[in-house]
Amino acid sequence: MRLLSVDAVNVNHVSGYNGTALHMAVVLERTTILKEILKLERLDVNAVCVDNATALSVAAAKCSAGMVSLLLTRASIDVNRFNSRGETPLLRVSLRNCTSVVKVLLERTDCDLNSSDITGQTPLIAAARRGYVAVVDILLSHPNASVNERTTERRMSALSLAVVGRHTSVALRLIRHPGVDVNLRSEDGNTCLHLACFLGQMEIVQLLVARKDIGLNLPNRQRLTPYHYAERQGHRAIASLIRNHEYFVNISDR
């Protein structure tokens, strides 16, 4: 601790994979040392270790709300700095279902809610595809939440991934969000209705077909509509629901 008061000491020295003294204080959860380091004006609070992670990123990965809160007391901290995988601190905690840290990070007005990693995965997509209901609720309640972002690979939205993962509670929340585009297509042309019909998810189908903006008869790249999927998979109740819809058109798949 006394060494920190010596000006000649390089507090920003990076020691291999372990990073700086700031990183180590976070990794070892040494709160007292962390507080002392944060007092130093010469501290580079955004210094990175080998995987391009800042101390804030490391604290986020550890789901430590206390450490994250302490680090955020430094006004110069970059809350959106991403690591070598393109993950921001908010994305890292969303991947780990850390609701308390999600809330702490979102208290910062400069926190980018929709930043994505190298695969196009945003915090909302990460939480939706894993069925993390509480995290999804927090993210959706934020005024800057973008619900229509899609992954780089296969072009899947948070809603489509929730359907594929059979996370019904998450899917229903997303469908009810006023900004959602329920007709977004994946790389193969499937909408969330296609996917719900294929998987036999009646509750989701019912909510989707009740929407006035639903693309009931949209064909995918194989010229298959949601109705075709329901029929082919043997989901007769869903097929009947769609067939009896006032806007149903029986498009040939040939």
Model pLDDT, residue 3: 43
In the chain, the largest separation of any two C-alpha atoms, in whole Å, equals: 79
Model pLDDT, residue 233: 96
Asked if residue 209 is part of any domain, the answer here is: yes
CATH number reported for the structural domain that contains residue 252 in this entry: 1.25.40.20
Phi, psi of 61 (to 5 degrees): -65, -30
Among residues 31, 53, 87, which one ends one of the domains?
Answer: 87
Among residues 87, 113, 133, which one ends one of the domains?
Answer: 87
Asked if residue 99 is part of any domain, the answer here is: no
Number of domains the chain contains: 2
37 residue type, one letter: I
Q: What's the chain look like in SS3?
A: CHHHHCCCCCCCCCCHHHCCHHHHHHHCCCHHHHHHHHCCCCCCCCCCCCCCCCHHHHHHHCCCHHHHHHHCCCCCCCCCCCCCCCCCHHHHHHHCCCHHHHHHHHCCCCCCCCCCCCCCCCHHHHHHHHCCHHHHHHHHCCCCCCCCCECCCCCCEHHHHHHHCCCHHHHHHHHHCCCCCCCCCCCCCCCHHHHHHHHCCHHHHHHHHCCCCCCCCCCCCCCCCHHHHHHHCCCHHHHHHHHCCCCCCCCCCC
Asked if residue 49 is part of any domain, the answer here is: yes
Asked if residue 107 is part of any domain, the answer here is: no
Among residues 36, 67, 87, which one ends one of the domains?
Answer: 87
Q: Which two tokens stand for residue 223?
A: 């010229």
Asked if residue 94 is part of any domain, the answer here is: no
Asked if residue 225 is part of any domain, the answer here is: yes
Model pLDDT, residue 12: 76
Asked if residue 148 is part of any domain, the answer here is: no
Model pLDDT, residue 20: 87
Asked if residue 25 is part of any domain, the answer here is: yes
Rounded mean pLDDT for each run of 10 residues along the chain, 254 residues in total: 51 71 92 93 90 94 96 95 95 97 96 96 98 98 96 95 98 96 97 98 97 95 96 97 92 62
Which range of residues forms the domain containing residue 71?
A: 1-87
- Give the separation between CA 1 and CA 40, rounded to whole angstroms: 12
Decide: pTM greater than 0.75: yes
